[in-house]
Structure formats: C-alpha cells, structure tokens
Structure 1
C-alpha cells in the first residue's frame, strides 16, 4: 500500500533507539523528512546515520538533541523541522519508561518525575507543535504509550497509572484538534528493543537462560502470534496512522502486542 506521505515532515521524540527509532525508520522509508530526537548526542548521531541509510532516496533525516523534561529544549526541538523542512505535518511522541517498583516503594518525587516525563513532555510538545500541525490541514499526532493502559503490569505502578493521562490527552485532542489534526495512540506489548535485549542478556549472565535465544523465546511465551514483536511492526503501524490512508481513524488507542492482551476493549 502506498501511504502517500513523500515530502511530508515529521518529528519523532525519543527516537535514538527502540520503538521511536523504528517509527522514524518507517516514516523515512515512505519518503518523509524526519527529525529524530534523543538526549545523548553521540547516540542520536549514530541512529540518524542508520535511519538515513534505510530511508527513501528523497527523504532527509536529521537529529536534534533535547531533554523532553526541559520546556526550552522542547520549543527548540519543535522548531527544527519547521526550519529544516518548512513545516511539520506529523508528530510522534515517545518517552522512556519510569522506574519499576511497587506502590509502597515510590515517593512523591517519583510520581512527579514520571508525570513530567510521560505526560508533560507530550503536553508541551503538542502545545508547541499545534500551530504547525494545523497549518497544512492534514496533520497527525501518534502517541507511543504502553499496553499497561489496558492491563496493569505487576511492578510498574508508575507506568500503569501515569500513562493513562496520555491516553486521556490523546482522546481529547482527537476532538479538539479535528478536523485539521488527527490524534491516535499505539499501545505496544513486548518488542525486541534494546531494553528487552538488555534484560535478556542480564538473565543469561545470572543463569536464568542458557542463551539469548532461549531468553527471547521465554519472553514470547503465550503471545498468540508466536513470540516477541519486531519493533518495525509497531513502526509501520505508526506510519500508517500518520498517513492519509488512515484518514478516518481518529481517537483510537491501538494495541500492538501480538494478541497477548486479555482485555476485551
């Protein structure tokens, strides 16, 4: 399917690795000019080079280092695609996860930091991007959240609780920004990102798995499609939701989890 996005401009936050990087790659393959983002400038530069090599011949990929908890950084980040490509058509928001742990071990500071990282980063980015997204008459916002908003995950009280605010925001924006801008979310389950790779390798070192392959297989047990997801599964869905081909999809929260969720809705 042709997604009809060539020449558009996109900003993908927290995209130097993981699902954000896969989303940037999927967009660039469709000919979209992409601004990638991360806090570590060296890591970001490497990611930009990698995605640019895989991009369509007419797509340009650049990087902008920024801390998503810094309002001034966010303002500069949103201006980068406007300065580089003349506008902003698509915003994909992503952020790292807050620390794990049970409720009894979390502090007020933990809660405020999680809210700032997961919710306020999106609020501030959307606020800065709103005018640009509306200017073209066909802008999109896709928020990468987590399957934890459908089913709480043991030991992740911060993610389980705070990410719900992002989904409430996304649903509200889908009404307030329409018809100029559509807003949707994706809810990833287990994907073979650097985070899971790290956890599996640590398990191998502790003797929990005999090999990396065994660890990944165990992570994928019970997933109906047969294992842990490839990040590009999610990346391609993000590209589709950003494209005109999904023009009647608005306000949705789409699970990308291989069918592992037991939730009916």
Structure 2
C-alpha cells in the first residue's frame, strides 16, 4: 500500500532505538525524509545506517537531549534546514523507572514529567509553524497503554503519560484543520529494553532461556506473542499519511488484544 509520503519530511524524537527507531524506519521506507534523534552518537549513527538501508529519501541523524529546551529547538531547526520543510512530528521517549505508587520521590516525579510531557510540549511548540505550512501536517505521540490501564508497578508511566494524551487531544482541536494530532498506546513489544530485562532475568536464573522469557511475557496476549516494533512503526506511518486523513484526536492502542479496557 502506498501511503503517499514521498517527498514529505519527518522528525522522530528518541528514534535511535526501540519504538522510535521503528517509527522512523517505517516513515523512511514509505519515502519520507527523516531526521533521526538520540543522545548516544554511536547508537545514533548505527540507527541512521539501518534506517537508511530501507529508505528512498534522505535520513539524517541529530544528537539531542529531549529534556533540554534549546536542544529540542535545535532539533526542529535542523530538520527544517536539512529538508526545507517539516510535515510530520513523531514524539517518543524512553520509559521511566518502574515504581509502585508511594516509592518514587519528588525528583523522580519531576524528572519523569520533563522527559515525557515537557519534551513533547517543546517539540510541538517549535514544530507547529512548520507543520502548518505547505498544506498542513501531522503529530503522532508514542505513549503507552498504561494511560488506559494503570500499572501498580509503574506509577510514573501510568500517571504522567496521561498529560501527553490531554495535550494531544487539545492539539487535535487547536491545530486543526491544518495539523492532525493522534497518539499510539503500545503494549509490550520486543524492544531492546524488553530484551535486556529478559536477559537479566536469565542471568539471575529466574527463567531458563530468552525464549521462555518471551513466552512468559506473552501469556496474557491473545495473539500469543509480543509485538514486533515495526508493527507499531507501520501504525505511526499510517497515522502520518493522508490515508488516515479523517483520523484526528485519537489514542490508538496496539497491544495484541491484551488490554482489558473496553474503550
């Protein structure tokens, strides 16, 4: 299916690994020019090379910390400088440390808010004028299924990510009709973070093998497996494309059916 993204330009934050990288890869495969972002220059270069191998457009890397206002502004400016336009903004960020409800201290709450919410606010603020130009664009926020089903063992993600959904919904009205805003809510996907957690459990003798760890994590998934990050990337690319032109202000869950929420 042609998503009609040829010649478009996209910026994907925190895209040198995991779900952000999958989103950037899907956009690049569909013909968009993509600016890839990460903090580690070596990992960023590897991601640019991997994404570039499937791209028909241009793929550029830019190191920046999304918790720093000036660096986020520089990230957007670099995208516009490289591509002469900016049509799509995809926001992603690493997950916070898991805590039960009363375990996290004030500093951890504020740091998580800065990472998950203010990084999006700053990116949107800098990108909005460019997204509105040349016929309009899209914003897709990668968050988590925890905004619909709170996790007792991950209170920071469950609580703070709700702010991104509130922002996304208000942006879908404020920036329309020029810019559409949506969010994706992933459940468990086989990302490097999940891989590291499983391998750590193997090393500690808690499970017999990596494969056994995957099976254990997929026990509550009706499809019987964890998600492939590219499945989420494909959804992000679709929501960025004109084929989803009447989808706006939505939070789309992608979890293999493992969630219990009816909405």
With the length of structure 2 as denominator, give the TM-score of the two structures.
0.99
The answer to whether structure 1 residue 37 and structure 2 residue 19 are counterparts is no
Contact 2:101 2:152 in 1 (8 A): no
Structure 1 residues 26-35 or 221-230, which shifts more? Answer: 221-230
Of 89, 100, 103 in structure 1, the residue corresponding to residue 87 of structure 2 is 89
TM-superposed CA distance for 1:138, in Å, is: 2.5
The number of aligned residues is 263
1:201 is aligned to: 199
1:105 is aligned to: 103
TM-superposed CA distance for 1:154, in Å, is: 2.3
Structure 1 residues 157-166 or 200-209, which shifts more? Answer: 200-209
1:139 is aligned to: 137
Of 177, 184, 187 in structure 2, the residue corresponding to residue 186 of structure 1 is 184
Contact 2:7 2:32 in 1 (8 A): yes
Superposed, 1:1-265 pairs within 5 Å as 1-56=1-56, 59-265=57-263
Cα deviation code 1:116-144 (max 9, x no counterpart): 10000000000000000000222000000
Cα deviation code 1:28-79 (max 9, x no counterpart): 00010000000111110111011101223xx110100000110000110001
TM-superposed CA distance for 1:210, in Å, is: 1.2
Structure 2: give runs of 5+ residues left out of the alignment. Answer: none
TM-superposed CA distance for 1:208, in Å, is: 1.7
Partner Cα distance (1:79, 1:257) in 2: 34
Partner Cα distance (2:101, 2:148) in 1: 19
Structure 1: give runs of 5+ residues left out of the alignment. Answer: none
Partner Cα distance (1:246, 1:116) in 2: 30
With the length of structure 1 as denominator, give the TM-score of the two structures.
0.98
Partner Cα distance (2:100, 2:182) in 1: 29
Partner Cα distance (2:243, 2:78) in 1: 26
TM-superposed CA distance for 1:108, in Å, is: 1.1
Partner Cα distance (1:75, 1:133) in 2: 14
Partner Cα distance (1:112, 1:9) in 2: 32
Partner Cα distance (1:205, 1:187) in 2: 30
Runs (4+) of structure 1 moved beyond 2 Å? Answer: none
Contact 2:14 2:36 in 1 (8 A): yes
Partner Cα distance (1:104, 1:9) in 2: 43
